[in-house]
Structure 1
């Protein structure tokens, strides 16, 4: 699987996010290319990023850099570690979810 962007190792860490838990690459809905983060996508593409609509969250779009398995967006959003190899994912990535996925409006 080719991961685009400014990667620093073979587990998909990049110059922007490189802790031990930064091991996912996300297939962007706009171009179908895997990037480690939105900064890498911005630097590598000439088009704006597009979020995945909730209706397409069954799409396999999250690459675990530890084992190479690809998770659906739904599966990824339900776990804190890879269900295949048990490598921990960075829980801080949830703060950036709105950049990758169309999120439902919070209920009042």
Structure 2
């Protein structure tokens, strides 16, 4: 586990901006909170690799709670704020990997 701006983030080889063994580009600076354990992980593959349980997505009924962490500045966002952010942190404008949002069904309950 790595502490990123005061928030614990689990995964494999997680750096101080949430990059991991699976996603290491300059834009891979998002950690996501899972509904099964309410913990932040660098990615779905990290959860699969280190958690002792099956992953469950963040439920729609909790979309008003923070479930996304910007690894660049530590801002936490609700899923809707993240979806609407335009692939950049609304607090620090750090670019996010658009591929992460493309497979958001791995992290968030769909409509």
The alignment's TM-score, normalised by the length of structure 1, stands at 0.90
**Superposed structure 1 runs of 4+ greater than 4 Å apart:** none
- For 1:27-72, what per-residue CA distance to the aligned partner results, in whole angstroms no more than 9, with x for missing partners? 1111011101011001111211111222211110111000011111
How much does 1:76 deviate? 0.5
Larger radius of gyration: 1
- Give the alignment of 1:63-78 within 5 angstroms: 63-78=69-84
Please tell me whether residue 102 in structure 1 is matched to residue 84 in structure 2: no
Q: CA RMSD in A?
A: 1.1
Which of 87, 91, 94 is matched with 1:87 structurally? 94
- 2:67 pairs, out of 56, 61, 64, with 61
Q: What TM-score do you get using the length of structure 2 for normalisation?
A: 0.88
- Cα distance between partner residues in 2 of 1:13 and 1:83: 19
Is contact 1:3-1:36 (8 Å) kept? yes
Pairwise CA distance, 1:95: 2.4
Does the CA-based 8 Å contact 1:7-1:36 persist in structure 2? Answer: no
